[in-house]
């Protein structure tokens, strides 16, 4: 568990309620510097709602979110300038070229030395030849690379990734995972990652949180956690969490 000053994200008793529906029910967790944390759970568990609250898109019903110690509710723009994200359900405008998309996002985030930063990212994500290509005509893998380049424009301390490798072929997914690993190990940021691919989670994440019905049921090292709960694989553990959350809650 990261010590206080090493935390890039600290979520305390976070809650989101829609009428009688409790989407997120008092979740607490941290993400440390250079750490990749997997947010796992069945459909409807509350993962996207949690991520959207951390992104400042949804207002929590309760609880607090600190990004590098900055309270999102009190100093919103200062907290959010340290953050960025990529999500499959939030593609970049397809009628703009790769370069235009990066420029607009960079302006939104107030990136200093934007032209040089875009050039750096075009090289890093092997996008130079697609510079003047409309984003919408690129393949899924290429679009994911553009989305990641966009997510890294402002050198975020907290990178939120909602299923970044969904719909990618295994080789492309591996390439994307390696780039995200590099981000976490070489820089000073941390990553919160959602995925339904347990193989990927085991390979990439330093720590996982299993969420079910808006609550964190389990937390730990994805390589050790299955054995600790008498399961052979992370996938088996996931299925148990999805089908019998109450049994685990009692354990
Ligand atoms: N605007 C809303 N109004 C009412 N209920 C909502 C709203 N948004 C989300 N919910 C409910 O909150 C719960 C959590 O949804 P959320 O999208 O966070 O789940 P998820 O873990 O991201 O699922 P998935 O893996 O399918 O993306 C679901 O039961 C959903 O129906």
ipTM: 0.96
- Quickly list H helices, the chain: 47-54, 76-80, 98-108, 114-124, 140-152, 170-186, 198-204, 225-228, 234-243, 245-250
pLDDT given at position 59: 96
135 lines ligand 1 (CB under 6 A): no
pLDDT digits (tens, 9 = 90+) for 52-76: 999 999 999 999 999 999 999 999 9
210 lines ligand 1 (CB under 6 A): no
Domain boundaries, the chain: 4-82+158-250, 93-155
- H or E element at residue 23: strand 21-32
pTM: 0.91
pLDDT digits (tens, 9 = 90+) for 15-31: 999 999 999 999 999 99
Q: How far is the CA of 214 from the centre of ligand 1 (A)?
A: 9
Q: In this structure, which topology does domain 4-82+158-250 adopt according to CATH?
A: Rossmann fold (3.40.50)
Instruction: Answer left, alpha or beta for residue 239, where phi above 0 means left and psi between -120 and 50 means alpha.
Output: alpha
Q: Which of 14, 27, 40, 49 for mutating ligand 1's site (highest number of atoms within 8 Å of CB)?
A: 49
Which two tokens mark 110? Answer: 């107030």
21 lines ligand 1 (CB under 6 A): yes
Q: How far is the CA of 244 from the centre of ligand 1 (A)?
A: 19
Q: Which of 17, 18, 211 for mutating ligand 1's site (highest number of atoms within 8 Å of CB)?
A: 18
- For the cut 60, the answer to whether the pLDDT of residue 251 exceeds it is no
pLDDT digits (tens, 9 = 90+) for 177-233: 998 999 999 988 999 999 889 999 999 999 999 999 999 999 999 999 999 999 999
- Please report the atom of ligand 1 found closest to the CA of residue 16: 12
Q: How far is the CA of 48 from the centre of ligand 1 (A)?
A: 7
Non-local (6+) Cβ contacts of 32 within 8 A are 1, 2, 6, 7, 8, 190
Q: How far is the CA of 100 from the centre of ligand 1 (A)?
A: 32
């Amino acid at each position: 568990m990261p010590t206080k000053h090493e935390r890039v994200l600290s979520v305390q008793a976070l809650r989101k309620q829609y009428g009688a529906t409790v989407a997120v029910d008092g979740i607490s967790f941290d993400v440390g510097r250079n750490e990749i944390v997997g947010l796992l759970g069945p459909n409807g568990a509350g993962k996207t709602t949690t991520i959207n609250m951390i992104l400042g898109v949804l207002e929590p019903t309760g609880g607090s979110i600190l990004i590098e110690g900055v309270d999102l509710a009190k100093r919103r723009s200062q907290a959010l300038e340290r953050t960025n994200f990529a999500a499959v359900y939030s593609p970049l405008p397809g009628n703009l070229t790769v370069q235009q998309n990066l420029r607009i996002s960079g302006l939104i985030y107030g990136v200093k030395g934007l032209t040089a930063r875009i050039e750096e990212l075009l090289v890093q994500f092997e996008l130079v030849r697609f510079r003047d290509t409309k984003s919408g005509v690129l393949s899924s893998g290429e679009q994911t690379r553009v989305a990641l380049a966009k997510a890294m424009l402002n050198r975020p301390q907290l990178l939120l990734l909602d299923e970044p490798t969904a719909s990618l072929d295994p080789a492309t997914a591996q390439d994307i995972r390696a780039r995200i690993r590099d981000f976490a190990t070489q820089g000073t940021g941390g990553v919160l990652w959602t995925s339904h691919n347990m193989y990927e989670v085991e390979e990439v994440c330093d720590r996982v949180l299993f969420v079910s019905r808006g609550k964190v049921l389990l937390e730990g090292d994805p390589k050790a956690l299955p054995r600790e709960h008498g399961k052979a694989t992370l996938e088996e553990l996931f299925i148990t969490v999805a089908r019998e959350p109450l049994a685990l809650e009692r354990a």
